[in-house]
Amino acid sequence: MNELDYFFNPKCVAVIGASRDQKKIGHVIYRNLAEGDFRGRVYPVNPKTEKLLGRKCYASVTQIKDKVDLAVISIPADFVPKALEECGRKGVKCAIIISGGFKEIGNVKLEDKLEKISKKYGMRVVGPNCLGVFDPESGMDTVFLPRYKLGRPKTGSIAFITQSGAVGSVVIDWMSRKGHRISKFVSYGNAVDVDEADLMEYLVNDRKTKVICAYFEGVREGRKFFEITKKIAGKKPIIILKGGVTAAGTKAVSSHTGSLAGSSEVYSAAFRQAGVIQANDMEELFDFARTLSSQPSPKGNRVQIITDGGGFGVLLADHVINNELKLARMTKETVDSLRKKMPPYVILKNPIDLTGDADVERYQHTLNAAVKDKNVDMVGLIVLLQVPRLGGEIVDTIINAFKTSEKPIFVISAGGDYTEVLKKTMEDVGIPTFSYPQSAARAMKVLYDFGQEQL
């Protein structure tokens, strides 16, 4: 096993700070593991408690007879070094320190003790000041926010790592609600040992992960980060959202995780050199991730737009050109074939405007023709579901085309509750959907550029 595997697939876990108080972090973490989907063994550690959820509670990790792979520590900061030392003596391979109160509040000396203990025993440490790890496949879950308040995404192929526990918790909840799926999640906090570069290097070799996403404010070791990302970026897409890009944001970073944010221009230049994709916001990050994890690489940059609303088609055409892509020109044979099946008022150019009385059959003919046409590399499929003749059956048409097409299909659909329900159905089967033309065009550009880098 890779040494970091024990964070995600431990056979035996000790929760140091497990508590009977249901409002305490240690209680939530222990309950997550003891009563959730985790298949390994879990031991509660608390010298003031004899039993927890019907199981024996241990005064120290050293009293557990079983071999402990991972310790999760959630106790006041001053007591963490002693607990970590005991983990080292016990032979624990990895530790997640949830506790805060270290470098982020200026307590550098206390955090230095953790680093020394980690090195002394060769024990890998995530944290302190973090949420830790969530792996839906193994059931490993140290996120201390209860499941009834914060959803957990299902197993997928997008990994997300973050310095910020707050950002991480919102991302998990948002992904769960949207139906986006995740392979692994890590909130690593102050990065006393395991940092963003270590995690990226691990995830690039993880068979479950297709795309690596990250939010961070500063890197622990700049040269190490640059060298590792440059080495691995071509193997899997790496998408980063950088926090602290303004003067005010940079100042806030030091009081958050104790990191140095650094110049945003320097980071952006380093990302470009390393082949890393930089997102401007969280929504864009996941637009890119969903696209890169599910869509085939296009052979070229020619986009055919299909719409039932002319204005939306015009907007997408503008954004396609603004992103240095091209509008496709379908072959005469394709256009002639479609003309025989369409009413005379349907516009068979680019965009193809099926007009406001479009039905499923009209979409099906056009989508199939565009996918088969040799002059088309990608399809921008705008489906405004408010028109009278379109119903839920359009979803089956899109799903069938998506599953059989060797070309990327970008679905753009904007609207209220009815639209969102149908989009969620598509997302649940792995089809990335977009509400706005500019978001879809930007994702097309990223998909095309990454594909070109692989040639």
CATH number at residue 39: 3.40.50.720
**What digits encode the pLDDT tens for the residues 165-207?**
999 999 999 999 888 899 999 999 999 999 999 999 999 999 9
Tell me if residue 300 falls in helix, strand or coil: coil
Q: Are residues 54 and 169 in the same domain?
A: no
Q: How far is CA 325 from CA 103, 317, 374, 377, 438, in A?
A: 46, 10, 17, 11, 13
CATH number at residue 189: 3.40.50.261
**What digits encode the pLDDT tens for the residues 256-292?**
445 544 567 888 888 888 889 999 999 999 999 999 9
**What digits encode the pLDDT tens for the residues 416-432?**
999 999 999 999 888 99
User: Does a structural domain hold residue 419?
Assistant: yes
Q: Are residues 172 and 61 in the same domain?
A: no
Q: Which of 253, 279, 294 is the last residue of a domain?
A: 294
Task: Count Cα neighbours of 391 within 13 Å in the Cβ-side half-sphere.
Answer: 2
Q: Are residues 171 and 236 in the same domain?
A: yes
Q: How many domains does the chain have?
A: 3
Q: Are residues 287 and 321 in the same domain?
A: no
Phi (first) and psi of residue 423, to 5 degrees: -65, -40
Closest-CA residue to 213 (of 236, 179, 230): 236
Q: Which of 270, 294, 318 is the last residue of a domain?
A: 294
Closest-CA residue to 328 (of 380, 382, 371, 375): 375
**Residue-number span of the structural domain to which 367 is assigned:** 296-454
Look at residue 355 in the predicted model and tell me its pLDDT: 96
Size (the chain), residues: 455
pTM given for the model:
0.91
Q: Are residues 158 and 107 in the same domain?
A: no
Q: Are residues 104 and 192 in the same domain?
A: no
At 244, is the pLDDT very low, low, confident or very high (cuts 50, 70, 90)?
Answer: confident
Q: Are residues 316 and 207 in the same domain?
A: no
Q: Are residues 334 and 437 in the same domain?
A: yes
User: Does a structural domain hold residue 137?
Assistant: no
Q: Are residues 280 and 303 in the same domain?
A: no
